[in-house]
């Protein structure tokens, strides 16, 4: 069997869209490992070095955001990466702690334990376990479609609001003050009240690091290109800016003994291998955290799979979403048993991994080894790392996620999507992350039900000189009073079945000359029992009114269902393959007129 090539080729299974069968389907490592070559090794090692340098400060910062000891961020960046390398299908996705999931973890754990307590840590580990189990179950049962209920406007609004909320929550570290709160409504007044206690030294460190990191993102790469570096090298080196900020501020705090001036630092970081941990087996706690863990899993999966699909498409590769659920589930289970917390695929790290030339998931495994070496050798150097620097790292990272311009785009395109997005943003900022996303999802479903309960239906006629039918209100078409064609542009189910009845009966009542009514169904993909009953009622009432009911352009699966009912046997008219066949049979003069127009 031909394996993946070094230039980004894919296996025959991937190219054809069919994964290998049996248990091998759940071990994607068997697709690429047998053909792993020297060129792959070189590309993966280079990518791992770059991502490791980027991931070290991010792991520490996101653990701080999650309200956890910073070493847990490092622990979450080791075994989970190895697990994903075995079970994940993306060649370039970089798994680890991310900002939004860290915020959700902090909010969920904070509902059952005091931040910073041992119970809080245990709850965070349990969240990783429950998320992993939930993802694993969805993957094995092939239920990844559930994530489709998180629409793009909802996810976009949630991530933007979370970015604002995360940035606001880190301002206390930039200012060197105490300010608590899980929502912007709570955080903003607390920050204002604490302004008088601002530590100017901490502010100088935090503000300086923030400005530097923003400049690194925009200005360092162009500067390096002007100095003669290639665009790719300049871009990759610019990603190491956070490491430089960490090194300089840590040395400053140590050299000038700024801890005596009230500068909060990370403190002693345990040196050594990740511990083996078991989440608490408290059924009450499991019950309390099950729903937040499920939400975290879904949000993380949507964020991860969107990144993975985007990057895979650039190399003409593909991922398998259901297997991605298994890969991310395994990564979270690995985090839970090694002292880490919830993980998923990160956008920025994955893009860096891709740009650095990662060829296979082995790059993630090498990154895990790099993090392990850093944990064993470098943790003593982190004792004087100021929390303000980590806060600056978080702020710069999350503000890039904020896209409030999406509200304006949604308003122009779809008022319903705008409402769902706006509700998600406001609820997330004002009430909390869980309520925010639930509000968005709930409103999206309600708006969908409202739209589909009022389906678009149009009276159509024959376009002269063709066999096409269009809306009589939009086009000049041929019609006859004795035949009316009602095109239904939505599947028929219980919310809209009654509206179809009302529309048909109103049409018949307003047209005394009508003899034939054709329901044109090219967009009807499903007819449920309620709609079937409505069609039977329509058929009987039209029969009583002396009008014959016909169907046209009914899709095969819908015809299969209708054939199992009494409707077709009792139908007063016919089922036509095409609407033109219906007009040719019911109003031949219209078809002839269209033919004469075409000939002319």
Work out the pLDDT band at 271, boundaries 50, 70, 90: confident
**Percentage of the chain exceeding pLDDT 90:** 69
Q: Which domains does the chain have, with CATH numbers?
A: 38-426 (no CATH), 457-599 (3.30.750.24)
Q: Are 434 and 294 in contact (CB under 8 A)?
A: no
Q: What is the mean pLDDT of the chain?
A: 90
Q: How many CB atoms lie within 10 A of CB 592?
A: 11
Q: 9: pLDDT confidence band, cut at 50, 70 and 90? A: very low
Q: Can you give the pLDDT at residue 598?
A: 52
Q: Could you tell me which residue, 4 or 222, shows the higher pLDDT?
A: 222
pLDDT tens digits for 217-261?
Answer: 888 888 888 888 888 788 878 878 888 999 999 999 999 999 999
pLDDT at 4 over 70: no
Over residues 518-569, the pLDDT tens digits come to 999 999 999 999 999 999 999 999 999 999 999 999 999 999 999 999 999 9
Query: Does the pLDDT value for residue 138 go beyond 80?
Result: yes
Phi-psi region of 554 (alpha: psi -120 to 50; beta: other; left: phi over 0): beta
Residue 585 pLDDT = 94
Strand 483-488 with 457-462, pairing: antiparallel
> Is residue 395 a contact partner of residue 67, using CB atoms and an 8 Å limit?
no
The tens digit of pLDDT for each residue in 84-117 reads 999 999 999 999 999 999 999 999 999 999 988 9
In sequence order, what are the residues at sequence separation of 6 or more whose Cβ sits closer than 8 angstroms to the Cβ of residue 515?
482, 483, 546, 547, 548
Task: Examine the pLDDT at 144 and tell me if it is beyond 60.
Answer: yes
Lowest-confidence region among 63-67, 209-213, 396-400: 396-400
Q: How, if at all, do strands 483-488 and 516-520 pair?
A: parallel
List b or e across 440-454, with b for residues whose CB sees 16 or more CB atoms inside 10 angstroms: bbebbeebeeeeeee
- Cα separation, 31 vs 28, in Å, equals 5
| pLDDT value, residue 223 | 87
Q: Are 48 and 366 in contact (CB under 8 A)?
A: yes
Closest-CA residue to 206 (of 395, 397, 392): 392
Q: How far apart are CA 452 and CA 443, in angstroms?
A: 14
Three-class HEC string of 522-575: CCCCCECHHHHHHHHHHHHHHHHCCCEEEEECCCHHHHHHHHCCCHHHHCCCCE
For 356-375, the pLDDT digits (tens) are 889 999 999 999 999 999 99
Q: How far apart are CA 116 and CA 63, in angstroms?
A: 11
Question: Is residue 7 pLDDT above 60, yes or no?
Answer: no
Q: State the pLDDT confidence band at 18, using cuts at 50, 70 and 90.
A: very low
pLDDT at residue 531 in the model: 94
What length is written for the chain? 600
Among 168, 159, 99, 183, CA closest to 407: 159
**Tens-digit pLDDT profile for residues 172-194:** 999 999 988 889 999 999 999 99
- Residue 599 has what pLDDT? 52
Computed from CA positions of residues 103, 104, 105, 106, in that sequence, does the dihedral angle turn out positive or negative?
positive
Could you tell me if 80 and 345 are in contact, meaning their C-beta atoms sit under 8 angstroms apart? no
pLDDT tens-digit readout, 273-306: 899 998 888 999 999 999 999 999 999 999 898 8
Which pLDDT score is estimated for 17?
41
Q: What is the DSSP letter of 484?
A: E
Q: Are 66 and 106 in contact (CB under 8 A)?
A: yes
């Amino acid at each position: 069997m031909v394996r993946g090539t070094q230039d980004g080729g894919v296996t025959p299974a991937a190219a054809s869209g069919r994964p290998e069968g049996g248990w091998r389907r759940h071990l994607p490592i068997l697709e690429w490992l047998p053909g792993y070559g020297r060129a792959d090794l070189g590309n993966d090692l280079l990518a791992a070095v770059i991502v490791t340098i980027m991931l070290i400060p991010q792991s520490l910062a996101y653990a701080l955001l999650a309200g956890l000891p910073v070493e847990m961020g490092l622990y979450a960046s080791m075994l989970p990466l190895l697990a994903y390398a075995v079970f994940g299908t993306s060649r370039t996705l970089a798994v680890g702690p991310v900002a939004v999931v860290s915020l959700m973890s902090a909010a969920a754990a904070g509902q059952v334990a005091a931040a910073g307590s041992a119970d809080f840590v245990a709850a965070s580990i349990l969240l990783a376990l429950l998320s992993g189990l939930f993802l694993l179950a969805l993957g094995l049962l092939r239920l990844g479609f559930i994530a489709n209920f998180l629409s793009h406007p909802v996810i976009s609004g949630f991530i933007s609001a979370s970015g604002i909320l995360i940035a606001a929550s880190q301002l206390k570290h930039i200012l060197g003050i105490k300010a608590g709160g899980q929502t912007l409504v709570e955080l903003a007044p607390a920050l204002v009240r604490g302004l008088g206690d601002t530590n100017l030294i901490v502010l100088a460190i935090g503000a300086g690091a923030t400005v530097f990191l923003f400049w690194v993102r925009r200005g360092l790469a162009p500067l390096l290109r002007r100095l003669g570096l290639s665009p790719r090298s300049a871009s990759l080196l610019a990603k190491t800016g956070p490491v430089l900020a960490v090194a300089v501020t840590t040395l400053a705090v140590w050299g000038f003994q700024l801890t005596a001036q009230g500068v909060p630092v990370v403190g002693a970081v345990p040196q050594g291998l990740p511990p083996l941990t078991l989440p608490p087996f408290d059924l009450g706690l499991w019950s309390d955290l099950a729903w937040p863990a499920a939400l975290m899993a879904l949000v993380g999966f949507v964020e991860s799979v969107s990144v993975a699909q985007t990057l895979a498409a650039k190399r003409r590769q593909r991922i398998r979403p259901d297997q991605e659920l298994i890969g991310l589930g395994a990564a979270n289970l690995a985090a839970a048993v090694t002292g880490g917390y919830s993980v998923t695929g990160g956008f920025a790290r994955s893009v860096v991994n891709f740009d650095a030339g990662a060829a296979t998931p082995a790059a993630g495994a090498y990154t895990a080894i790099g993090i392990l070496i850093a944990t064993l050798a470098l943790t003593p150097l982190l004792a004087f790392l100021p929390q303000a620097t980590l806060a600056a790292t978080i702020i710069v990272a999350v503000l890039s996620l904020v896209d409030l311009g999406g509200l304006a785009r949604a308003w122009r395109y779809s008022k319903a999507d705008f409402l769902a997005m706006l509700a998600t943003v406001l609820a997330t900022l004002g009430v909390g992350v869980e309520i925010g996303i639930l509000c968005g999802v709930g409103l999206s479903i309600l708006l969908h039900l409202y739209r589909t309960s009022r389906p678009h239906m149009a009276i159509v006629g024959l376009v002269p000189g063709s066999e096409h039918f269009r809306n009589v209100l939009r086009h000049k078409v041929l019609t006859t009073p004795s035949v009316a064609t009602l095109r239904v542009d939505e599947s028929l189910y219980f919310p809209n079945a009654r509206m179809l009845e009302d529309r048909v009966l109103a049409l018949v009542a307003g047209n005394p000359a009508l003899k034939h009514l054709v329901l044109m169904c090219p967009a009807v993909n499903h007819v449920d029992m309620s709609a079937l009953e409505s069609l039977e009622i329509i058929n009987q009432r039209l029969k009583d009114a002396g009008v014959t009911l016909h169907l046209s352009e009914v899709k095969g699966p819908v015809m299969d269902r209708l054939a199992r009912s009494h409707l077709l046997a009792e139908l007063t008219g016919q089922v036509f393959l095409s609407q033109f066949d219906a007009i040719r049979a019911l109003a031949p003069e219209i078809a002839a007129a269209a033919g004469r127009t075409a000939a002319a």
